[in-house]
Structure 1
């Protein structure tokens, strides 16, 4: 029974925060919108295909990359916390 119960000290912190997951979702949404807009116009020399879609797609990639690299500074590092015992 005690093997199933874990103390809070034994748990590892999550890799991403909820904000990171929201930013990844937003970036994926930008990618889907950009590629869909490019496909809907279906012209090689169209205004949306040449100017709008690449900017939206690039914004999606930058947003996903930022979300992956962003670290939340509010998460307490166990090595820097002071115990009051």
Structure 2
């Protein structure tokens, strides 16, 4: 794993340490065992790409309930997330 490899997790804000993954064609935030949030237009009120460096994307998201997180994603998860939020 290189220094720029994305962690595919929440690196700041609410849900810090939560893992981001593909599950059943959806992008989900796994907070702890059995507790997941589907990252879609219903759950995410707004998002912004903060930075993109060699396959490492940092995206801030504001959830519908007012919580905020900074995600670090690889190319595949970033593409899947943006498609879900379009």
Bin of the TM-score, shorter chain as denominator length: under 0.3
State the TM-score, normalized to the length of structure 1: 0.19
Higher helix share: 1
Q: Which has the larger radius of gyration?
A: 1
Higher strand share: 2
